[in-house]
Structure formats: structure tokens, C-alpha cells
Amino acid sequence: MVDTTDYNETLRPQFHFTARKNWLNDPNGLFYYQGIYHLFFQHNPFGLEWGNMTWGHAISPDLVHWQQLPNVLEPDELGTMFSGSAVVDWENTTEFQQGGHPPIVLIYTAAGNTSPASEGKSFTQCLAYSTDGGYTWQKYPGNPVLACVRPENRDPKVIWHAPSRRWIMTLYLDGNEFAFFSSPDLKTWSPLHTLFAPDSIECPDFFEISLEGSSNFSKWVWIAGNGRYYIGSFDGKHFQPETNLIVGDYGPNCYACQTYSDAPEGRRIQIAWMRGGKYPGMPFNQQMSFPCELRLVQTPLGLRLSRLPVREIETLYIQRHYYSEIPLQNNSFTLPNLNNGLIDFSCQIEPESHGRLKFKIHGQEVVFDLHSGTISYQGQTAPLLPLSGPLKVRILVDRTSLELFAQDGLVSFTSCYLPDSEFPEFMVSAQSGHIQIRDFTLWELGSAWTH
């Protein structure tokens, strides 16, 4: 069981994952196996700032309630442990299997020359594997499996491509350039091609996803570390983008987003590092975003990914507030005192509304300008897609983060903040025009650390 006594500090997120102590950054090696979601993460076991890169490890049955386990990858003579991914080797292509479990393999960057023991070494790609379902790990004696291609090539994302019966890796090279490789066994790799992504670096992700509502139409999605993505096609040898690079999140704190392999029901679940948050006086530093489910949907602008919180958040629901048909015209609507300030809120704004609508939550201001069709928050502005119905808004609020989702998740903002006060009011106001809110549902949440 999790000892929750250390998880109630003033600025500790209550339903976003944080390391029990010290620094955390990129999510790594996300996989699901036998009812458990595994989350690995870049971790400094010895301090609150970046350094000594090690893979931390946590598990959850539901993506909400996490238990941190002992670290799994520690620095060695090849370097410190930079980011990577994980796969379940169902067909034992690696021949690592030793019992009833298929091998589970971590593919990671050994960052040479980042520690005294690795002085003079290059950045290379390596393997570690588990034969007991993901709880104990050993590094492959034949590491590295991919030699240095560019001086700081890193962050391998690997998937199984069934039609070609090959493992496919996408890897950050340098600048705005990434590469693709293939392998029959995760141990020997052949180059395929390179990919250019403007204004994008690090931590690529790559996966196939079906169009929502269609089981026989799918596309491939490639995502960069900043969440920008291409939608395209892949034949086992070449990924061909069919869109421009699309912004995946407009917030200031979304980075190194990765998705789960082998998630049940074909779900595509994404977690990001909420880079740049501040937690003064806390024994931990940095947090993960709340897990979101990605869907491929058709829009007036073409195919897009939608991104919404996973349904498992409902395990934290404790009290519901509901209001309907709220007219706003140069006036405001204030909710009653909200117990612990943990919120999952949603509303629908009638399409005939016009003007500017402002949400003020924990001192944070989100403005919807229905005339210009934009959302503004923390100095960032996002466009709204053409609307044919009500504008749907959803906001998650934790002690030090606010995640906004609009238009069924086609627009999202991932952001951190420091609260003005412990439990300030939640106010909705019309700054101009006439706003009609069709319905307004707010759930107060319990803490994931007390269940």
C-alpha cells in the first residue's frame, strides 16, 4: 500500500502524478500489462534540480491512483539514463523470455559523457528487459544496440508494425530532424529515413489510430516533444505526412508527451511532463499532466486529434454541483465555497452567444472571445475551430495546475500556476455581449492519495 503521509504538502498535486521526492521530468516507457499501467519517468534521486538522470517507476490500476516503486535504470559506464519507451514483446522476438511472461523491453538513451563514469562516450540507444511482468529489470549485455548517429541523438520511441513484422523506432537526431529505423528483434537496427519537423525537438511519439466511429479507416500520427503532430501514412518503411504540423496543446507547460503501448480497448492514452511548474519549499519538483485519451476525428479543417481526460477521473468524484440556463450580460455568476479546490468542471455555451466570457479560478483567468473565435490563458492564445453547435468547455483544476479542453478536446491548454490563496472562489462573467450557458456541471474531487 502507498504511504500517503507525505503526499499532502501545500503545493502537492492531488490527482496529478509527482515523484515522492526530488526532480521529475519526461514520462518514459509507458506500457500496460495484466491490469497495470506502468509509468517510468526521468528522475534525479538525489536533488530537486535536473541531473543524475535515472528512470523512476510507478504503477497504477486506473491511471489515477499511483504507487511509486524502486528506480529501475541507474547511470552506468555508458552514461546517465535519458528518455525512451517500452514494448511488450508478445512474440519473443528478442528471445529474452524465461518463463510464462512475454519479455517487456525498455528502449532508452545512454547519454555518454554526462557522468564521470561515461566520460568520452557518445549518446547511444540501449535495452533493458523484464521477464516477470515489469517489476524487475536487467540491462541487455549487448548494449548499445544502436550506435551514435548524431552527437546527442536520443529519446527512442519504438512500436511493433505487424504488417512488416518489424519493430519501428523514431529517434531525435538534432536540430529539427528525426530518424526512423527498423528491426526484427530490437537488437539490430537498419535506417529507414529522416523526418523534418519545424520548431520541434526531442521525445517523438508514433502510433496508428483509427478514425472515431470507423473500424476500417486509420491513420498514423507522429508527435514531437512539444506536442505538435503530423497525420499521415506509413507502409513499414516510410512515414509520409499528409498534413502540416498541427499544434497539439497551446499551454505553456506541455512537453515530452508520450502514449501507452498495449492499452486495453485500443485506447490511445497520453501523458506529458508539465515542464516549468514552480513548487517553492516542496520536497518534490515537477508533475505529470493528467492522462488523456486521444481520438482521431474529422473536422471542418480536416483530420485532427482530440484530447480529453480519461474517464477514470470519475473515481475521484465526491460532490456534484449543477446549474442550467445561466444568462450572462455584463454580470457574473459565482459558485459557492468549494471545499478542497480540486475541480472537474464542464459547461456548454449556446451557439448564439456573443461577446467575451471569462472564467476566474484560483486566481487564474481564462477568456473566451466569441467574436474573434479565440481562447486566451497565461499569455497564450488558441483559435477555435468553426462551430456548428454549442461551445463545450472542460477544465481540470488541481492545487498547482489548470488543464483546459474546448470543443470536445480539439483545443487544449496544459498549464501550471501558483495559487493566490488556498480555496478562492470560482467566478464566471460576461465582459461584453450576451452569453447563454446551457448547462454547467462541476464535480469536487477527492485526493488520489487518500483512496
> Would you say residue 54 has pLDDT above 60?
yes
- Residue 438, pLDDT score: 85
Convert the pLDDT of each residue in 19-41 to its tens digit.
999 999 999 999 999 999 999 99
Convert the pLDDT of each residue in 79-95 to its tens digit.
999 999 999 999 999 99
> Would you say residue 72 has pLDDT above 90?
yes
Cell 475541480 -> residue: 343
Q: Which of 26, 89, 155, 369 is catalytic?
A: 26
Q: Please give the CATH superfamily to which domain 17-289 belongs.
A: Glycosyl hydrolase domain; family 43 (2.115.10.20)
> What confidence tier does 422 reach under pLDDT thresholds 50, 70, 90?
low
Return the percentage of the chain with pLDDT > 70, whole number. Answer: 96
Overall average pLDDT of the 89-106 stretch: 97
> What confidence tier does 328 reach under pLDDT thresholds 50, 70, 90?
confident
Return the percentage of the chain with pLDDT > 90, whole number. Answer: 81
Range of weakest confidence among 61-70, 229-238, 308-317, 378-387 = 378-387
> Would you say residue 1 has pLDDT above 80?
no
Contact assessment for residue 337 and residue 423, using Cβ atoms and an 8 Å cutoff: yes
Distance of alpha carbon 104 from the chain centroid? 21
- Nearest residue to 111 via CA among 78, 156, 63, 158: 78
> Would you say residue 3 has pLDDT above 70?
no
> What confidence tier does 424 reach under pLDDT thresholds 50, 70, 90?
low
- Residue 334, pLDDT score: 79
In the residue annotation, 26 being an active-site residue is answered as yes
Distance of alpha carbon 366 from the chain centroid? 22
Answer positive or negative: Cα dihedral of 95, 98, 101, 105: negative
Residue 296 vs residues 32, 266, 312, 406, 448: alpha-carbon distances, Å: 21, 13, 20, 15, 29
Domain range summary for the chain, segments of one domain joined by +: 17-289, 312-450
Convert the pLDDT of each residue in 119-144 to its tens digit.
999 999 999 999 999 999 999 999 99
CATH of domain 312-450: 2.60.120.560
Q: In DSSP terms, which residues pair with 196 in a beta bridge?
A: 177
Q: Nine-digit cell at 137?
A: 529489470
> Would you say residue 2 has pLDDT above 80?
no
Overall average pLDDT of the 195-222 stretch: 95
